[in-house]
Structure 1
Amino acid sequence: MVEVVERKHPQHALQNSGLHPVLQRIYAARGVRENAELELSLKHLLPWYDMAGIQQAVDYLLPVVTEQRSLLIVGDFDVDGATSTAVAIRALRMLGATRLDYLVPNRFDFGYGLTPELVAVAVERRPDLILTVDNGIAAVAGVAAANAAGIPVVVTDHHLPGGELPAAAAIVNPNQHGCRFASKAACGCTVVFYVMLALRARLQEMGYFRTEAPNLAVLLDLVALATVADVVPLDRNNRILVEQGLRRIRAGRAVVGIPALLQVAGRNAARAVSTDFGFVVGPRLNAAGRLDDMSIGIECLLTDDPLLALEMATQLDEFNRDRRGIEAAMSADAERFLKGWQQQNLPTGLCLFHPEWHQGVIGILASRIKEKVHRPVIAFASGDRDELKGSARSIAGLHMRDALDLVDKRYPGLMRKFGGHAMAAGMTLNPGCFEPFRAAFDEVCRELLNADQLQQRIEVDGELTADDMALELAEQLRWAGPWGQGFPEPVFVGEFRIVQQKLVGERHLKMVLEPLGSGRVFDAIWFNIDPSVWPRPEIQQARMVFQLEINEFRGRQSVQLLIRQLPDF
């Protein structure tokens, strides 16, 4: 069963703020102590000059603008990589550069990042400089290959450094040792955006612009998308970036690719919120990198032609539909594996492999299984030369990259390479190493996690009265974000009488609920239930975890409870 825990909050915080009492406790539980912290204007952004290595990066990028040197941007095949590439190209064009090109490794041919094999492709394009975005901090061999070819490399990245740094011309990464930049949660797109701010500042100092310097804030819709889609914690700096980007989208000033992606998903850009990045735009962009090539996603973000953007967004939507079908089949395989274990006998660190699984979808599969069993999960697919490609997802209490590093130190030779974050990572296993790696990973996880950390919990923001379940509060909650990792969307708990329940579509349960003793009823929806279990007419009362939302139908708005969990079932 799932344990429901109410988020703690200081009772005195924000009492004189003028906010709705429910909003007061929501913000207080997320560490907000005064109204000033909710001010998300650009003037509160952290300064670019605190980033280590940024001046050296500008030294190398300056001739790309002033002397029209050629630049090759090497990105990544996820949303952060695609937006980072688009931000770099758009910003440099605004600053006056003309000889720009980009190269994104196809995950099936080259794998992740600036590898020596990718450098060989880059050399054919004869760039004067390589700029990595959202990768490069682990590219020791790749940077060495570029140096040997006489091409300097500027690395911009946010991933955690390993024991050895690449011999790059400059490294900009807030997580490198000695960097004073306070937001260690910056995504890759934010890092390159800050580099572009520094480059513009240098050009201004030189008197380069004959008129007013370009306003790079026009790129914040891309930065906002990357920040949410890459699931980095929303500290205050990131919340400013996301809020400012959302305001541009809602005002109709976004790059045309973003509203096009919202349109194909049936969403209204004028009412866009941060969750639309994570659940609507992000998956469609990611689908290109998972199933095909991320170039179409990048081009969708680079074009200024609305019709072309819509055409590419439609193709990305089709990729996403294909991805869902592949994921469903893989999830069915994984469920069969899980049935082979009793829940109490599951490994602490769970490794799953099927020879027919798709490399591009194992990350999503690992995430889905992790949510189901609440323990670290690595899903593997077949790679080249009998290697296995793995994608890992973790839970609170286990730093995934550190855990893999410990496995590698104890059992060298199992992994050919690995890298990542606290909550997600990727790795390549050498041939024949799955079983010993599975045992080693479980051993490390058993040491690092205790039984309490393996207890699945859902944090809630307390209960709501029937009077609170009103359009006014639902509307305030919608715009009170941006919500995301580390600043979660509000969820509540309550006891309800189930007045009606019926299946709609194939996997959605529509209900009419009465908060106990209130005499009032509310519509509710629970998406993606197990139709072999629900509806259950014999269940007439239940404790439910839910979100307060607004349902819009034919121009009419009404309160709807979005059910997230029935913890006792």
Structure 2
Amino acid sequence: MPPLLRRIYAARGAHDIDAACPRLSGLLPPDGLSNIDVATRLLADAIERDARILVVGDFDCDGATACAVAVRGLRMLGARDVVHAVPHRIAHGYGLSPALVASLAPLQPALLVTVDHGIACHAGVAAAKALGWQVLVTDHHLPGPRLPPADAIVNPNLPDDAFPSKALAGVGVMFYVLLALRARLRAAGRFDGAAPDLGTLLDLVAVGTVADLVPLDANNRALVAAGLRRLRAGQGCAGLRALAEVSGREAARLTAGDIGFAIGPRLNAAGRLEDMAIGIECLVCDDPRQAGELARMLHEINAERRAVQQSMLDDAQTALGRLPSVEPVAVGVCLHDPDWHPGVVGLVASKMKDALHRPVVAFAPAAPDSPQLRGSARSIPGLHIRDVLAAVDSRHPGLIERFGGHAMAAGLTLARTDLAAFEAAFRAQVEAMLDPALLRAEIVTDGALAAHEFDFVHAAQLRDAGPWGQAFPEPVFDGEFAVVDWRIVGTRHLKLTLRMDGDPRPLSAIHFGGWRDVAPAAREHLVYRLAPDDYRGGDAVQLVVEYREARPAAGADGKV
């Protein structure tokens, strides 16, 4: 292994090849998941009886890919009557609600399967059971103090669940259920010849896992790496191939970063502004022409989403700018605007969290003129945001109507009239639970690159050595450079020509969003990624700048 990669992997706790590059052969077995036998028995019985199975997805990328994996996988395993549905963010709200169940009643399923939600949907599960349906919940969100009345729940984060990895995304949980179901059906002699190859679903598993920002532990990295190999080989489903094309990504060089910044947002946009049914149809479609049309629709919706998001971010910045300059920013920030869109508040909360390095909750009306607010919370490392909401709920019963989520992201609903009370309670709880030292933002890098490492060979190695993501971050480096030349690209980006001390070669760099209305200093300290320069092609490389700050220029004697 090249010395640079050896150093990068070791810094992330991977000290041998199996930990650095996990393979599918090392996947954790599904029998460690609680209730997996009951879940597969429900599915096998429904397949045996040709009973209708209704898969209910969620309106984010993880939920959409999980729904597509469930529909495709169940059909591969012999189910002949599989239908799917997804809640509409405005009409139904999050998850399996009684309103959604009522709208699905004409489908008359024998078995309803939730993917990427359900663990907090007590009323919705009860409504489905009241109609005589069996309910299987597959989810990965953290459970509350009581569980919904489902026939079976598969969730690696259930109390006392023995599955070693708690980081599976919703799509990963559903994929594991299918693995266990195939084993049950194989043991029962249901297949003539070889069992179906569920590995063909790994492109979808990879996209949902990366887009949901779950930690990329060894198990998840094995799943994502295998899915990326399928996508790079042109073996992905028609919808994902079309999404890569409309986003301007070359399939043969797709990375986890391309999923996170190009494919995932286009799928998510449908659930944020329109109807995630468009995204799911794109993923279950096998006709390349139809998939291309749906992908172009998602591309256009994403462009609209970006415009809405920028407008909301401008509003948030303006609101913060009204605070007196002598007043410190609160340790916990709540933002609200009656004109904001509920589908985009999560992105606003995430951007403002990054800018302020504070936990942020952004609220919007659940629907136009609605008395309810939908909130999306984002946290900083060291503060479990769902635990904060649980503590607020415990100390102020009834203040939060419903909530759920993870350590770094959560969602909630409350009455508009309770916003001020929630803001006070939220700030107080954050102050009680957050170590003030964590409010100082830090950038952790992989140190400096040697002069001979600024070349295409090392840039390509870094690109292909992933997948990189949460808990297994993409390598970033830092160092001081002389700024030889610079220019503005577009309206916000900064193109730089740099030079290292002792090396006459010019280095090309780009800082997206880096124009601050002030010329760069003659000498700057940069945090950057080394990447192949696809725009110039060939063996060109560039530094993708993540952060920069001015450094004093050297004097005539070369000293600073």
Do both proteins adopt the same fold according to a TM-score greater than 0.5, normalized to the shorter chain? yes
Q: Is the 8 A contact 2:365 2:372 kept in 1?
A: yes
**1:361 Cα deviation from its structure 2 partner:** 0.5
The alignment status of 1:66 with 2:48, answered yes or no, reads yes
**1:271 Cα deviation from its structure 2 partner:** 0.7
Give secondary structure in 1 for the equivalent of 2:403: strand
Q: Is the 8 A contact 1:466 1:520 kept in 2?
A: no
1:89-488 mapped onto 2 (5 Å cutoff)? 89-341=71-323, 342=325, 345-384=328-367, 385-488=370-473
Q: Is the 8 A contact 2:523 2:550 kept in 1?
A: no
Equivalent residue pairs, number: 548
Q: Is the 8 A contact 1:413 1:430 kept in 2?
A: no
**1:467 Cα deviation from its structure 2 partner:** 1.4
CA distance in 2: counterparts of 1:464 and 1:546, whole angstroms: 10
Greater mean alpha carbon deviation, residues 377-386 or residues 315-324: 377-386
CA distance in 2: counterparts of 1:555 and 1:413, whole angstroms: 58
Q: Is the 8 A contact 1:74 1:131 kept in 2?
A: yes
Distance 1:42 1:206, change over 3 A: same
CA distance in 2: counterparts of 1:568 and 1:24, whole angstroms: 31
Q: Is the 8 A contact 1:374 1:454 kept in 2?
A: yes
Structure 2 residues without counterparts, runs of 5 or longer: 552-560
CA distance in 1: counterparts of 2:450 and 2:24, whole angstroms: 37
CA distance in 2: counterparts of 1:182 and 1:243, whole angstroms: 20
Distance 1:331 1:193, change over 3 A: same
Q: Is the 8 A contact 1:545 1:567 kept in 2?
A: no
Q: Is the 8 A contact 2:282 2:291 kept in 1?
A: yes
CA distance in 2: counterparts of 1:139 and 1:386, whole angstroms: 21
**1:337 Cα deviation from its structure 2 partner:** 1.3
Query: Which of 501, 505, 525 is the aligned partner of 1:543?
Result: 525
> Which residue type is aligned with residue 401 of structure 2?
R
Q: RCO greater where, 1 or 2, for CA within 8 Å and sep 6 or more? A: 1
CA distance in 2: counterparts of 1:199 and 1:352, whole angstroms: 45
Report percent identity of matched pairs.
Answer: 50
Distance 1:561 1:343, change over 3 A: farther
Give secondary structure in 2 for the equivalent of 1:121: helix
> Which residue type is aligned with residue 489 of structure 2?
V
Q: Is the 8 A contact 1:542 1:566 kept in 2?
A: yes
Q: 1:494: which partner in 2?
A: 479
**1:387 Cα deviation from its structure 2 partner:** 1.2
Q: 2:557: which partner in 1?
A: none
Q: Is the 8 A contact 1:94 1:214 kept in 2?
A: yes
CA distance in 2: counterparts of 1:226 and 1:414, whole angstroms: 32
**1:96 Cα deviation from its structure 2 partner:** 1.4
Greater mean alpha carbon deviation, residues 344-353 or residues 232-241: 344-353
**1:162 Cα deviation from its structure 2 partner:** 0.2
CA distance in 1: counterparts of 2:218 and 2:19, whole angstroms: 8
Query: Which of 506, 521, 533 is the aligned partner of 2:506?
Result: 521
**1:553 Cα deviation from its structure 2 partner:** 3.5
CA distance in 1: counterparts of 2:283 and 2:326, whole angstroms: 44
CA distance in 1: counterparts of 2:244 and 2:410, whole angstroms: 29
**1:307 Cα deviation from its structure 2 partner:** 1.2
**1:568 Cα deviation from its structure 2 partner:** 5.5
Give secondary structure in 2 for the equivalent of 1:432: helix
CA distance in 2: counterparts of 1:299 and 1:212, whole angstroms: 29
Distance 1:343 1:237, change over 3 A: farther
Q: Is the 8 A contact 2:486 2:496 kept in 1?
A: yes
**1:396 Cα deviation from its structure 2 partner:** 0.8
Give secondary structure in 1 for the equivalent of 2:364: strand
Q: Is the 8 A contact 2:488 2:515 kept in 1?
A: no
Distance 1:530 1:362, change over 3 A: farther
CA distance in 1: counterparts of 2:105 and 2:365, whole angstroms: 29
Give secondary structure in 1 for the equivalent of 2:257: helix
CA distance in 2: counterparts of 1:414 and 1:42, whole angstroms: 46
Query: TM-score when scaled to structure 1?
Result: 0.94
CA distance in 2: counterparts of 1:204 and 1:567, whole angstroms: 60
Q: Deviations over 1:316-363 (max 9, x none)?
A: 000000001001111110111121234861110100001101111000
**1:411 Cα deviation from its structure 2 partner:** 1.5
**1:158 Cα deviation from its structure 2 partner:** 0.3
Q: 1:509: which partner in 2?
A: 494
**1:38 Cα deviation from its structure 2 partner:** 2.5
Q: Is the 8 A contact 1:128 1:151 kept in 2?
A: yes
RMSD, matched Cα: 1.3
Give secondary structure in 2 for the equivalent of 1:509: strand
CA distance in 2: counterparts of 1:439 and 1:501, whole angstroms: 46
CA distance in 2: counterparts of 1:552 and 1:393, whole angstroms: 33
**1:20 Cα deviation from its structure 2 partner:** 2.5
**1:390 Cα deviation from its structure 2 partner:** 0.3
Q: Deviations over 1:224-252 (max 9, x none)?
A: 11110000000000000000000001111
Q: Is the 8 A contact 2:400 2:412 kept in 1?
A: yes
Give secondary structure in 2 for the equivalent of 1:482: coil
Q: Is the 8 A contact 1:64 1:99 kept in 2?
A: no
